[in-house]
Structure 1
Amino acid sequence: MFSNEVISTFNDLEMSLYNYVIKNSDKVIYMRIRELAKETHVSTSTILRFCRKVDCEGFSEFKVKLKLFLDKDQTPHLRSSQESLSEFLERTLKGNLDSYIMDAAKIIADSDSVIFIGIGSSGILAEYGARYFSSLGKFSLYIKDPLFPISAKYLQNSTTIALSVSGENRFTVTHINQLKQEGSKIVSITNSQHCTVAKLSDVNVPYYVTEEKYNNSNITTQIPVMYILESIAREVNKH
């Protein structure tokens, strides 16, 4: 609403008005134009000129746009870590997570090599997973670049472990397709079974927690992924 270009056109009086509006937005949306003029020590004509500069025909339209701006800018509520963990544990006890973990572990244990893929926060956990599996005796690699050269003979009896919250990331889907075509089996860990990555997989392990976004970033908890990765690795070690 207040772009840098618009702010640069304000004179001293308009700038003081702008500063008042920014600091008292929740009050201004309920004020009359004369009340705002009295509070800011400017004339009503200055306020109307200010409104026109922010592309409003009058003070009433300005208040409507200001309210919409405030509603859009509301900071979303963040769930506590305990709430996310409790949700996962509750659903784990009621679901088939253990059987999915066992199925995934069997495929991985029978494979000669394990490749982890993922992007963003899932990529960070994919790298952690590769290290964790290797520490428990199953040599694994995290590959970020889908064009990373791998000889086809190393993929014939391999398992790819794909991590993705949404299961719809184009980068991850493309990478899975390439590895699948080369003969690698696919185990995926996603937040839902009803996604592209899950459908491409030989075994999918879903964890179903409420998805969260903040400032256009996906901040869905990754605690379930950590638990699932470590549980699968320990089952593979038993085999």
Structure 2
Amino acid sequence: MFTNEEIASYNELETSLYQYITKNMEKAAYMRIRELAEATHVSTTTILRFCRKNGCEGFSEFKVKLKLHLENTEAATVKDSKHAVSEFFERTLAGNLDENIHKAADIIQPADHVLFIGIGSSGILAEYGARYFSSLGTFSVYIKDPYYPIHTRVLERSVTIALSVSGENRYTTTHIHQLKEKGSKVIAITNTKHSTIASMADLTIPYYVTEEVHHGSNITTQMPVIYLLETIAREVYKKKQGQDV
């Protein structure tokens, strides 16, 4: 439905429109243009520009394309994980992923503490990330409670790594705000650079994979997150040791 080239061409408003449509395809396929504009808080002009970027002359043609896509995927099974991994590497390794990994390592290296935050599957990976970083000599903890008491002096020399697929989780945005207020630098690892969490972070590392929902559950692959966490941890270790892992 959406090609890599089309997704890469979206601006911030078009990205939010894309995210809404992919999460509400059946609903969007039958909406009027003004209804979609109200639901996504964008103008009808933005929607028409979005349609043209996706190879459609207007909104009516885009809805036909969307309905055909829904018909073709009704009986589709869950994607093979190999597809998700190849999608990640196609979209990111051709860009500035290595540069962002090095930037993240530069931010983390001088820190006394690394704090991981996230909820749901992102919380599970945050806990894994804290253990992995600590195993390579960077003291790290997973903080689940946004009101967990941490002295300001500790946070002033800390880095927070925030994990979120959508970048819009209220729990995580609240947690980031509190940690930044007390002096912690924030690195966001999320699926898109156009999100609330991304706008709050000192550095955002997007991984761009298609979000998947199966029977109401978000099953978007987390493989890119594991790759990024392990690669960044190893890069920090190399910088501290001055040698290859």
Q: TM-score range by the shorter chain?
A: 0.5 to 0.7
Could you say if the C-alpha distance between residues 158 and 80 of structure 1 is closer, same or farther in structure 2, counting changes exceeding 3 Å? same
Describe how 1:80-159 pairs up with structure 2 within 5 A: 80-159=80-159
Aligned 8 A contact 1:105 1:236 in 2: yes
C-alpha separation between the residues in 2 aligned to 1:75 and 1:116?
A: 38
Residue-by-residue CA offset, 1:1-36 (whole Å, 9 max, x unaligned) = xxxxxxxxxxxxxxxxxxxxxxxxxxxxxxxxxxxx
Residue identity matched to 2:131: R
The TM-score with structure 1 as length reference comes to 0.68
C-alpha separation between the residues in 1 aligned to 2:201 and 2:77?
A: 34
1:235 corresponding residue in structure 2: 235
1:199 corresponding residue in structure 2: 199
Q: How far off is 1:76 after superposition?
A: 5.7
C-alpha separation between the residues in 2 aligned to 1:156 and 1:76?
A: 49
Q: How far off is 1:135 after superposition?
A: 0.1
SS of match in other structure, 1:131 = helix
C-alpha separation between the residues in 1 aligned to 2:219 and 2:190?
A: 14
Q: How far off is 1:192 after superposition?
A: 0.3
Residue identity matched to 1:166: S
Q: What number of residue pairs does the alignment pair up? A: 167
Aligned 8 A contact 1:76 1:214 in 2: no
1:6 corresponding residue in structure 2: none
SS of match in other structure, 1:94 = coil
Residue identity matched to 1:186: V
SS of match in other structure, 1:147 = coil
Could you say if the C-alpha distance between residues 168 and 75 of structure 1 is closer, same or farther in structure 2, counting changes exceeding 3 Å? farther
2:212 corresponding residue in structure 1: 212
Aligned 8 A contact 1:108 1:236 in 2: yes
1:172 aligns with 2:172: yes
C-alpha separation between the residues in 2 aligned to 1:139 and 1:91?
A: 32
C-alpha separation between the residues in 2 aligned to 1:209 and 1:77?
A: 17
Structure 2: which 5+ runs fail to align?
1-70, 240-245
1:188 corresponding residue in structure 2: 188
Structure whose alpha-carbon radius of gyration is higher: 1
Q: How far off is 1:164 after superposition?
A: 0.2
C-alpha separation between the residues in 1 aligned to 2:118 and 2:181?
A: 18
C-alpha separation between the residues in 1 aligned to 2:145 and 2:209?
A: 28
Q: How far off is 1:218 after superposition?
A: 1.2
C-alpha separation between the residues in 2 aligned to 1:75 and 1:174?
A: 39
SS of match in other structure, 1:204 = strand
SS of match in other structure, 2:146 = coil
SS of match in other structure, 1:220 = coil
C-alpha separation between the residues in 1 aligned to 2:202 and 2:105?
A: 12
The TM-score with structure 2 as length reference comes to 0.66
C-alpha separation between the residues in 2 aligned to 1:198 and 1:112?
A: 23
Residue identity matched to 1:84: A
Residue-by-residue CA offset, 1:115-170 (whole Å, 9 max, x unaligned) = 00000000000000000000000000000010111111100110000000000000
